[in-house]
Chains A and B, each alone.
Chain A
Amino acid sequence: MAEPVHDQIRNIVADLFLMSLEEITPESSPSTIENWDSMQHLNLVLAVEQTFGIQLLPEDIERMTDVGMIERVVGEKLP
């Protein structure tokens, strides 16, 4: 079994922003993580797309405003 969506997303965030898993909450967002800029947001989107084998539309990407929302958007895309 693959690990839960929740954990996989936290792993991606931890990799990209060089954070430990404990530091990441559903409220983690560009306003709480300093180097979460537009380019890192794109990296995050690409990592999510590859990890889950999905393609995110511009509208999806706009809604991905914090870690909790990323989980929700990914959840909607998965079968």
Chain B
Amino acid sequence: MSSDRHDVMTGVNLRQEISDAITAGNGGEAFSLIVRFWDRNPDSSAAQFVLASFEKLDPQPVLSSCRVAILRSFTLEPCLPLFKAAAVVRGINLDIYVSDFNAYAQDILDPESRFFRSKPDIVVLAVQTRDIAPELWNDFADLSIEQVEASVERVKREIQNLVRVFRSRSLAHLVIHNLEMPAMPNRGLLDCRSEGGQLEALGSINRWMLQLAREISGVYVFDYDGLVSRYGRMDWHDEGKWLTMRMPVAADHLVHLADEWLRYIHPLVGRVCKVLVTDLDNTLWGGVIGEEGFSGIRIGQDYPGASYQKLQRVMLDLQQRGIILAVCSKNNTGEAMEAIERHPGMLLRSRHFAAVRINWTDKVQNLREIAKELNVGTEALAFLDDNPAECHRVRSSMPEVTVIELPADPMKFALTLRSVPVFERLMLSAEDQQRGRFYGEQRLRAELGETAASREDFYRSLNMEVEIMGKEPEILTRVAQLTQKTNQFNMTGKKYTEQQLTQMIATSDWRIYAMRVRDRFGDNGIVGVGIVQFRDLACEIDTFLLSCRVIGRTVETALLSHIAGEASNRGFRKLSGWFMSTAKNAPAKDFYASHGFRCILEEAGRSHWEFDLNVDQRIAMPLWIRLISPAGQMEECHGRTCP
């Protein structure tokens, strides 16, 4: 007991274990222990230890890289090692640029600044109320209503100007801290008695920032005030360090600031999970079903079952966000399924789970099977369990899986899951929200595929309808997302942001084709994308991809046929495209060859393919697919150039 306490308090035993695992060349074990060590005491000295230990890992874990620029008005250097350590244990390597103290405006206004030359992927504008609006913070009691209004307008103008100038020079994502409220308004109780109070004035700037961020794509408001209040204003602020070193954040909270920034980085670099795989005993319910039985487990509206029900509520919220739920648990199937299906306290039922593994096999093996069944990589899995040994086992053997270890106290379960950054999304498309249902339908489609006599019969039986879209700005969120997330059927693997796509469709030499597929089981939403560049006599396919949801159903042929038809109608002679080999896109390798393209160039890792629109016959639309294309374009086709 004393050694356990020792471990929790200082992590000294863990330190030694980490060093031993590294010396023994046991990289997986060391990685898992480092994550555990960090989660237990994420402080300034642990950060240095984690970063130093990480460098010694062999093999080195695969990290996603991200260049972050922080433009700030206060000292936050001590936060940076914490930020880097928190990122590295979650698989992200940060390259951080920090503006000179209070030089945030100069950095944005000077196009030649070191800031722009650092080519950031994401920029954090961390400016405090004290610094950008000192009169609203310090001298508020002296101000007349008119002066307050003038100040509010000045601050808005300043922020708006910075954001606009920034956006005109960079396509990077921009995260802006909103304005912190004072712990005690300067006018005391009177503040909310009259118009033009301090809280109201600062609140109006914060509300306006939300609106600004909705108008300019890739701009996000970070609720810094909400973060401060979550931990308590009095506790967050360290007056001594603020007055002597311009460092306003207390030691304990620097890591909370770093964690909050990371929530934006995860979706940006694609370190996100699509599937939440959950344990059952002492996770979805309290107790062990095999020992305590149906009536013995704790789950329901009242304490102690309420904690588990709240965790289930969080899982339902995640499903609304497009996260797929699955079960991986060591139980007897019959009694576990009975509890899931019939227990009156359960919010989750079997229909909510896209894959279920209830058996006594190793969880690592089960997780691999679940990934395969759901057609995702194992890095798309997040694994939730209360048992530290299972968590350690999965982390050591599958470092790519995000392991969420529940704390000892069930009342902390729901918040623990809510704070996991791998489920964050910066944008949400209609397809995301329906994904849970899609996966249920997918199971039915797979069953039909097995019984259909021939593949063609199978295709016909699906009653597929393909709609080609392209000019509607509202599809760009989904198109950008598909370019960023589609790994398997993706000819070139090019990734685009919504901002870049918006610029593309504004020009006449680019055209975006987004394919929506419906079938007898439902609407799959936008699941295919072609991006084409028209140049001189050739029409070049820059991007061609298909969501794995619809692979093997010939809808890719329908999209290619449509693109070729339109290129031909516009008078182009050639249609060409690259295949660029990546770690995962082997399923797309033969796509051009099997559609009659000739290989005109082959070199390391890539090949260039061409289709002669004059000589070669057209790419036939599959007979079992009904094509709907926008009315305007049909006219263009029939009225002018169609033979």
Q: Tell me the minimal C-beta distance from B311 to chain A in angstroms.
A: 29
Distance in angstroms between the alpha carbons of A42 and B238 in the assembled complex? 13
Chain A, range 54-79, C-beta contacts under 8 Å to B: 55-58, 61
Encode B40-78 as 1/0 by CB contact (under 8 A) with A: 010111101100100000000000000000000001011
How many residues on the A side are at the interface (Cβ–Cβ under 8 A)?
Answer: 24
Q: Are B245 and A42 in contact (CB under 8 A)?
A: yes
**Chain B CB within 8 A of A49 CB:** yes
Q: Are B238 and A50 in contact (CB under 8 A)?
A: no
| A47 CB contacts on chain B under 8 angstroms | 43-45, 251
**Chain A CB within 8 A of B407 CB:** no
Q: Tell me the minimal C-beta distance from A18 to chain B in angstroms.
A: 6
Chain B, interface size: which category?
A: 20 to 34
Residue in B closest to A53 when the chains form the complex, CB atoms: B252
Distance in angstroms between the alpha carbons of A56 and B546 in the assembled complex? 58
**Chain B CB within 8 A of A24 CB:** no
Chain B, range 212-257, C-beta contacts under 8 Å to A: 238, 240-241, 243-245, 247, 250-252, 254
Q: Are A55 and B250 in contact (CB under 8 A)?
A: yes
Distance in angstroms between the alpha carbons of A11 and B41 in the assembled complex? 14
Given A15-B49, A42-B245, A58-B240, residue A51 in contact with residue B254 (CB < 8 A): no
Residue in A closest to B3 when the chains form the complex, CB atoms: A1
**Chain A CB within 8 A of B6 CB:** yes
**Chain B CB within 8 A of A22 CB:** no
Chain B, range 329-369, C-beta contacts under 8 Å to A: none
Q: Are A16 and B10 in contact (CB under 8 A)?
A: no
Q: Are A2 and B45 in contact (CB under 8 A)?
A: no
**Chain B CB within 8 A of A8 CB:** yes
Encode A30-62 as 1/0 by CB contact (under 8 A) with B: 000000000100111111011100011110010
Distance in angstroms between the alpha carbons of A42 and B248 in the assembled complex? 13
**Chain A CB within 8 A of B642 CB:** no
Q: Are A18 and B52 in contact (CB under 8 A)?
A: yes
Q: Are B9 and A2 in contact (CB under 8 A)?
A: yes
Q: Tell me the minimal C-beta distance from A4 to chain B in angstroms.
A: 11
**Chain A CB within 8 A of B2 CB:** yes
| A42 CB contacts on chain B under 8 angstroms | 75, 77-78, 241, 245, 247
**Chain A CB within 8 A of B150 CB:** no
Given A15-B48, A16-B44, A16-B48, residue A61 in contact with residue B6 (CB < 8 A): no
Distance in angstroms between the alpha carbons of A57 and B245 in the assembled complex? 12
Chain B, range 1-19, C-beta contacts under 8 Å to A: 2, 6, 9-10, 12, 15
| A16 CB contacts on chain B under 8 angstroms | 44-45, 48
Q: CB < 8 Å: which of B9, B243, B251 contacts A46?
A: B251
Distance in angstroms between the alpha carbons of A15 and B10 in the assembled complex? 13
Distance in angstroms between the alpha carbons of A49 and B252 in the assembled complex? 8
Distance in angstroms between the alpha carbons of A63 and B81 in the assembled complex? 25
Given A57-B240, A61-B244, residue A51 in contact with residue B10 (CB < 8 A): yes
| B77 CB contacts on chain A under 8 angstroms | 39, 42
Q: Are A15 and B46 in contact (CB under 8 A)?
A: yes
| A58 CB contacts on chain B under 8 angstroms | 240, 243-244
Query: What are 13 A-B residue pairs whose CB atoms fall within 8 Å in the complex?
Result: A1-B6, A2-B10, A16-B44, A16-B48, A42-B77, A42-B247, A46-B44, A47-B44, A49-B251, A50-B41, A50-B252, A51-B10, A56-B240
Additional 4 contacts, C-beta under 8 A, given A47-B44, A49-B252, A58-B240: A15-B49, A43-B78, A55-B240, A58-B244
Residues of chain B whose beta carbon lies under 8 Å from any beta carbon of chain A: 2, 6, 9-10, 12, 15, 41, 43-46, 48-49, 52, 75, 77-78, 81, 238, 240-241, 243-245, 247, 250-252, 254
Residues of chain A whose beta carbon lies under 8 Å from any beta carbon of chain B: 1-3, 8, 11-12, 15-16, 18, 39, 42-47, 49-51, 55-58, 61
